[in-house]
Homo-oligomer: A and B are copies of this chain.
Amino acid sequence: MNIAILFGGSSFEHEISIVSAITMKKVLKRSTLTYIFVTPQREFYLIDTGKINSKLFSSGEYKKSKQLFLKKGGFFTESMFGSKKVSFDVALNLIHGRDGEDGKISSLMEFFSIDFISPRMEASALSYNKLYTKFLAQSLGVKTVAYEYLSKNDERKISMDYPVIVKPVRLGSSIGVSIVRAKDELDYALDVAFEYDTDVIVEPFIEGVKEYNQAGCYTDRWELSIIEEPHKEEFLDFEKKYMDFSRDSQVLSADISTEIESKIQECFKKIYNPLFNGSIIRCDFFVVEGEVLLNEINPIPGSMANYLFSDFEGMVERVSKNLPKEQSITVDYQYIHSIQSAKGKA
């Protein structure tokens, strides 16, 4: 199968998307990969799979590659001799953060009729925004950590006890996130978070909380990964996250009871189905006093969470054969015809 990897994007996570994309070479071994780079200025370049490495981007050398243009049905090169379509079977959206996770790339793929693996628009809008994720979870009967919501112009007052964790609502990879241990640190943490976003959520910081990651998708059946207990520092900063985005070998299952395991799986399925059809996502859960709480949805997880699956490549193929279809709409202009004939009679 020929898989187009879309990566980069106009995002604070542009650089780790490059790391994720390069990692795919190690895990999608049977497939032909077509690398399509989205620059920070949102131009498209076709990157030679044989030559891809991180320096190609940091040096700006990628600009020597062929530029691509989006049109009906695909990406095209353009030259004096006309335009030529870049051939692939499916696009894999690997753009972390803005553009990739907020629904823009999904909109582009749907609008231009390109088959793609990614959460669709609605799923993106709800999972990219941590506040909306809370609404979604609530409506599906999935418990979440308690939270308060603050917008940039709101009074900077919270009612929960310290320590708390402050998060910009729209970013991943721990960017702009702070732990606040006392009231006099809140202001600075909010300054940091509001650097990145107009809205934040504040949650209680639960010292030593048990965290578990579950990835998966629905193809013609449920394909759930093993559950991992990530070995974290207090929480991962951006530098340390490099490990996550370049991981390519399978890890061990967390040591948890079958009861907790099935609770986590059940929550994952509730969140996923059917909103996330066509995508491979990772959900991060907390377990507090035997109760499973959704912490975050990672709609485009680092290196697609490949390290949690025993047959990642096979699964990618099965997802691509079970993509959700857009409803077909026929416009027959009956309505306009009837207005015209009504006018004609008048």
Contacts and interface: CB of A to CB of B under 8 A. Distances in A.
Nearest to A55: B340
A58 interface: yes
Interface string A237-277: 01100100000000000000000000000000000001000
A54 B342 CA distance: 13
A121 B54 CA distance: 31
Interface in A293-346: 327, 329-331, 333, 335-340
Interface string A1-18: 000000000111011101
A159 interface: no
A54 B125 contact: no
A112 B42 contact: yes
A281 to B, nearest CB: 17
Interface of A: 10-12, 14-16, 18-19, 40-43, 54-55, 57-58, 69-72, 98-99, 102-104, 106-108, 110-113, 121-122, 124-126, 129, 131-132, 135-136, 138-139, 149, 151, 196, 198, 238-239, 242, 274, 327, 329-331, 333, 335-340
**Max chain B Cβ within 10 angstroms of own Cβ: one of A41, A132, A242, A339:** A339
A333 B14 CA distance: 9
Contacts of A333: 15, 57-58
